[in-house]
Structure 1
């Protein structure tokens, strides 16, 4: 928790232990931390440099913890000051960049990023730099950045960035497809499903976009598109897919009516996956239900809707607001 203040785990453990006992000598603290005395001594000297511990003047060799409210408050104030300076520097650089890019050359409107590490890093920057909204089209074959997506989304969503995501049906058939979609819904993201998306795409604040660049080589590459007619086209591509997609309801994300003659949360999950195009078998697998359970729930939904076919069920569900887009 204190790594943001420049402490590593060993330093933090040493300080916490010293705070809990008030004062201790190095051998006693080493035993409490299950560390060697040299490691403990180095940790204490680092705490001393940060103003978090000091050697007792009355008892040489004994270390005393500095009051957390004072010592940590000073470190926080210093960190805030450094952050303010960094923010000012970033604002000045942004202003210089805007001044130099008033009339950008055509070749400056698109970046070509090559190599898996560079693509993954640029993808993270795009999301973590978003201020208002991130829109994404997700295909069933995520490459390069799949391992970092959740971390970036969690950080951005934690800052209040809105996410609108359209996944293609094949994503839900992946081993972790439904689990990741459920996690996204729990983060407050809006998720919709279509049979197929035209390309993987991420648009941040309608000012920057990233699309994969297909090539005949094995090295991944992507295009980063700045504000231009091409960016507007990519933004409209997302909006057109979003308008035709159906909302995904998983893990209690849908609002079930608390009445005996209305679908419950699991009913809405089953319905959402069926409307996304999954088979009964795939729905059962993704939700951890038995095939017969899924079929019984579908039969119950048909009875609730007064439908005799699944086609009629879909229409009635839309009319009753069970699958409304808004």
Structure 2
């Protein structure tokens, strides 16, 4: 508990023991602490430097505890003062950084990360830092990180982060490919498939991207791209692949492909109930789905039809014969 003021367990135990008896000789305190006399005296000397203990002037060799309210109060006041100075220094450094970053240099827009551990850590940070959306192109040849096997993904989805993932068809043939895809689909992530993706790629909130360097290097390496023309290019690449890919869905416990521009059975049920006048919450209850699941599916249908309101979505649903007119 007193580690914040620079005392370790031994020193804290010595001070507590000394407070409990008020004053003690080194041998007596050593027995209480089950320490050697040399180590006990060293601990007392440390307490003395912090103003928590003092040698008795009336009885040499005897140590007296300083009143905790006074001694600890002084140390805490000093610690608060040091923290205030540190906060001021941090604020000044942040202001200086913002001034320097007003016109970022080219080398600040791209980071090179080398080594399996470093690449994996950066990949984790990228997902944990996402606030709205993570887009990914996944190959069947993971280097430092695999496509869909980390806890950060589940944590991000729980925070409301949307995932759009395009996988190579070969991923379905990997040992754990179906299992991992089923887990992703059960979290209402949007997954599509193509024969081949151009590169492995992850983009978070359209502000940060990560793309691997050549696998012919001695160890795995990746580029982390910040907001720039290059990031816009990578985002455009993802959207192009996403448009041409076929969505995957769970069908009877297995994974199946569906029409790129069409809803699945659950989507049709949601649309029918919404058009019947039910609220999102009522639809979720009727279909035994989560409210967030219903809202995500409606949002996906709006994106597929290119509309911005639910009224427009209803019109498109009838126009495309997604729901019966009678």
TM-score, length-scaled by structure 2: 0.49
Q: Which has the larger radius of gyration?
A: 2
TM-score, length-scaled by structure 1: 0.49
